Amino acid sequence: MSVAVTIRDVARQAQVSVATVSRALTSPDLVRATTRERVLAVAADLGYQPNLAARGLITGKTGNIGIVVPDLNNPFFTGVLKGVQNQARLASHAVFVADSDEDPAAEEQLVRAMAKQVDGVILCSPGIDEQQVRELAESTTLVLLNRRMRGVPAALMNSGSGLRQVIDHLVALGHHRIAYLNGPRTSWSNKERRRGLRIAVQRHDVDLVDMGPFPPRYEGGLQAADLAMAENVTAIVAYNDIMALGVLARLRDRGVRVPDDVSLTGFDDLMFGALCQPPLTTVAMPVVPAGRLAVDLLLDRLANRDAEVRQDELDTQLIVRATTAPPA
């Protein structure tokens, strides 16, 4: 067990008051160099680690940040978490993580539970409604990730642009009739993608077949594949990679060749999209940078509460692999 060496042990051993020890550690310029060195030496010798909870009690800062994600099994969110974790470490902050299991009620409760122990919370792709998010923002410093809302700082990825790049790519290849397989209608991500879609479609005058919504999973793709083929499209744009993989599997089973008979794109650039056969054309989401950005936004806000609310958007990028080709 921890030997529980406190600031007093250090003070005694170094022959100074606890205040001096505290200062030597947190505001080194306030103590004479020789004293400081002696204190620091003793602290190191004793293996003294300040009790952050006690410190936080008085400073009002915990040095912790929290992150709430819908699902830790989703590589999208663990990518974000990785970025958050990296950047937090650079700023000497520890991170609390909670998984809401896609349950909005849990989401709300988890943020509240964290609030007391952290300086702020990063809320990823929240399923709760705007009103609830605003209430949470009252109880703690909040930064949103992958959702935009007036007045709340947010780390965003421009998925609209990603989808525009997809359509541009398909049109350049010569496609005119394209299916879009919707994800959940209510999700902010799906709305953003459709927005990009609408813009691109207007620009190019292509036939868009707007299908779904489908579950944003492998099974959703299996189901969508046949429906899309019945629409005589030459290209299928799936809501995300996993759905695209389901489409790919179903098409293969039916003997439909990709990309010879039909082109297919995903979204997210999860690792296995590069490893499947044929490798998937998709859009890379900068999830790790987004996690880092969210930490920066949070720390900025903590440092300067009156600054303007930042909502920064990171670029997405089309990754052309082997599931797209000119139509037959």
| Residues binding DNA (CB under 7 A) | 4, 6-8, 15-23, 25-27, 30-32, 34-36, 48, 50-51, 54-55, 57-59
298 binds a copy of itself (CB under 8 A): no
Question: Which residues neighbour 166 within 8 Å (Cβ) at sequence distance 6 or greater?
Answer: 200, 237, 265, 267, 281, 283, 318
- Cβ atoms 155, 290 nearer than 8 A: yes
The yes or no reply on residue 211 touching a copy of itself (CB under 8 A) is no
Pick what 117 binds: a copy of itself, DNA, none; C-beta below 5 to 8 Å, kind-dependent: a copy of itself
Q: Which does 113 bind (CB under 5 to 8 A by kind): a copy of itself, DNA, none?
A: a copy of itself
Cβ-proximal residues to 209 (8 Å cutoff; 6+ apart), any chain: 177, 178, 179, 180, 228, 231, 233
**CB 228, CB 178: distance < 8 Å:** no
Per CB under 8 A, the list member of 209, 211, 227, 276 interacting with a copy of itself is 276
Q: Which residues of 164-181 are buried (b: 16+ CB within 10 A; e: fewer)?
A: bbbbebbbebebeebbbb
Distance CA 160, CA 189 (A): 9
Using an 8 Å Cβ cutoff, are 156 and 123 in contact?
no
The piece of 91-99, 124-132, 196-204, 224-232 that touches a copy of itself (CB under 8 A) is: 91-99
Cβ nearer to DNA, comparing 53 with 105: 53
Cβ 34 to DNA, closest distance in Å? 7
Q: Which does 328 bind (CB under 5 to 8 A by kind): a copy of itself, DNA, none?
A: none
Please report, as residue ranges, which positions from 213 to 232 form the binding site for a copy of itself (by CB under 8 A).
Answer: 218
Residue reference for tokens 């692999």? 321
Contact characters 249-268, a copy of itself, x per CB under 8 A: x--x----------------
What are the angstrom distances between the C-alpha of 326 and each of 176, 209, 222, 320?
Answer: 11, 18, 23, 13
Residue 276 contacts which entry, DNA, a copy of itself, none (Cβ below 5-8 A, type-dependent): a copy of itself
Q: Under rule CB under 8 A, which residues in 23-82 are in contact with a copy of itself?
A: 47, 49-54, 56-57, 62, 64, 72-73, 75, 78-79, 81-82
